[in-house]
A = this chain, B = another copy of it.
Amino acid sequence: MAKKKSEFENPYEEKCSIVYAMSLIGAKWKIPVLWHLAHYEILHYNELKRHLKGVTNTVLTRCLRELEQDSIVLRKSDGSVPPSVTYELTDLGKELIPALNGLYKWGDDHKTNASKI
């Protein structure tokens, strides 16, 4: 689940569905990562990194690990040298696509000087 134990420490203070959803995908780069995987279907690590201008290895890797642990993205690696690792959405992740597209479109409709992708 990749989340703090304390979040459920009081069973009488459970979170609503939207808070739960955001606990899984609410980190700064997670939704951008998911949107790009939704858009390109499958990406190599460095491709993904290039699309997400500004993210560092540390952050991107942590982000992908958590999403993988939560079964939202799938990591595929052959053991070759040099390594080739791809990321794609799981079925669970694919269920987010409509919402991701909605967020993207909203941003796209209203941003002024951000780039298209």
Contact = CB atoms under 8 A, between A and B. Distances in A.
Contacts of A17: 104-105, 107-108, 111, 114, 116-117
Contacts of A102: 96, 98-99, 102
Contacts of A16: 32, 51, 53, 114-117
Q: Is chain A's binding surface mostly helix, strand, loop or mixed? A: helix
Contact of A114 (B20, B31, B114): B20
A95 to B, nearest CB: 6
A98 B97 CA distance: 12
Interface in A26-83: 26, 28, 31-32, 35-36, 51-54
Contacts of A116: 16-17
Copies of this polypeptide in the complex:
2
Q: Bin the interface of chain A by size.
A: 35 or more
A85 interface: no
Interface centre among A8, A32, A117 (most CB of B within 10 A): A32
A16 B38 CA distance: 15
Interface of A: 8, 11, 13-22, 24, 26, 28, 31-32, 35-36, 51-54, 92, 95-96, 98-100, 102-111, 113-117
